[in-house]
Structure 1
Amino acid sequence: MISIFIIFAIFILYNINRMTNSLCLQKEIPEERQPKVFRTINILVTILLISSYIEILFA
C-alpha cells in the first residue's frame, strides 16, 4: 500500500509543480520570488499528502 501511495504522491507533486510553474509564468512573478512560491506550495502539498496517508492508514 505504501508503494502505491508513494507513486501517487510523486505524480501529485509533479503536477502541482507544473501548475505552479504555469502560474508563475502567467502572473509574471519575478525570478527572485519564484523559489519562495514553489517552496511554500510544495510544503503545503506535502503536509496534505502526509495527513491523507495517516488518515488512510488509521481509518
Structure 2
Amino acid sequence: MIYIFILFACFILFNINKMTNSLCLQKEIPEEKQATVFHTINILVTILLISSYVELLFTV
C-alpha cells in the first residue's frame, strides 16, 4: 500500500509543480520570488500528503 501511495504522491507533486509554474508565468512573478512560491507550495502539499497517509494508515 505504501508503494501505491508514494507513486500517487509523486504524481500529485509533479502536477502541482506544473500548475505552480503556470501560475508564476501567468502572474509574471519575478524569478527571485518564484523559488519561495515553489518551496511554500511543495512544503504545504507534502504536509497534506503525509497527513492523508497517516489518516489512511489508522483508518484501514
The TM-score bracket by the shorter chain reads over 0.9
**How many aligned residue pairs are there?**
59
Q: In the alignment, what sits opposite 1:10? A: 10
The percent identity for this pair of structures is 80
| Structure 1 residue 8, shift from structure 2 partner | 0.0
Q: Distance in 2 between matches of 1:41 and 1:33?
A: 12
1:1-59 equivalence runs, <5 A: 1-59=1-59
Q: Which amino acid aligns with 1:36?
A: T
Listed as ranges, the gaps of 5+ residues in structure 2 are none
Which protein has the bigger helix share?
A: 2
Q: What is the one-letter code of the residue matched to 1:26?
A: Q
Return the offset for 1:53.
0.1
Q: What is the CA-CA distance between 1:22 and the residue it aligns to?
A: 0.1
TM-score of the superposed pair, with normalisation by structure 2 = 0.98
CA distance in 2 between counterparts of 1:42 and 1:31 reads 17
